[in-house]
Amino acid sequence: MNESSALDDLTRRRYEAAGFGRPVGLGRRPGLLIIDVQYRTVGTAPMPFDDALEEFPTSCGEVGWQAVSHIERLLALFRAKGWPVLYPHVAPKKEYDQGALGAKVPGIMSIPEKGYEFVAEVAPRDGDVLLPKRHPSAFFGTPLASYLVQADVDSLVVTGCTTSGCVRASVVDAFSYNYKVAVPSDAVYDRSPTVHEVNLFDMAQKYADVSTTDALLGALDGVPARH
């Protein structure tokens, strides 16, 4: 087992032997999802995880800011190519939103207003689609699928957080809708490196093509711009 990896060789061999993890590739009309990249998930400035928790209990700390720098690069390409950009995001919580999530993660119910603002480096512009959501998947209870049909999107690049939560839930639902899905491993983030790695591996085996931002930018560069 690689000391830097949470995954043992046996796990990798079993998935490979079963034929999982084959690449699907990109479509010709991609859309970009930027999920929950709000100050509540990264903090108002880069800081170690324990310090970040003092500002927002839902923050992932410095890893979030590292991912933001990669999301920024992807966003620039999507804007240059005229491809659609969509922002699924957690809406401010009201008392009636308590539900199961509030019971599991009580801290999410008391995030100050600043925490819900989009991180300035990757904030939406006029023409981008904003999708407030109250559950992990960007598809559940939102008109996301309808917007994707309207924009004639055939594949999705999924970024944001958390890798194990809203990103994964959205990736699984996108796959279920038969979209080709790409996840740049360094443009998604989570509060645990182990959880992050294991979920990337599992998504790569079953639901998405997982690569680095550099590799994905190279592949996207060859896709024609939108007319």
Q: Which residues are catalytic?
A: 166
Element (H, E) at 210: strand 209-211
Crossing angle of the two packed helices 168-176 and 193-206, in degrees rounded to 10 = 10
Phi, psi of 131 (to 5 degrees): -130, 85
Please state, in angstroms and rounded to a whole number, the distance separating the CA atoms of residues 88 and 51.
Answer: 26
Crossing angle of the two packed helices 213-221 and 62-81, in degrees rounded to 10 = 0
Please state, in angstroms and rounded to a whole number, the distance separating the CA atoms of residues 81 and 100.
Answer: 40
How far from 89 is each of 34, 49, 162, 213, 218, CA to CA, in Å? 8, 22, 12, 22, 28
* Residues in a beta bridge with 35: 160
Phi, psi of 21 (to 5 degrees): 80, 20
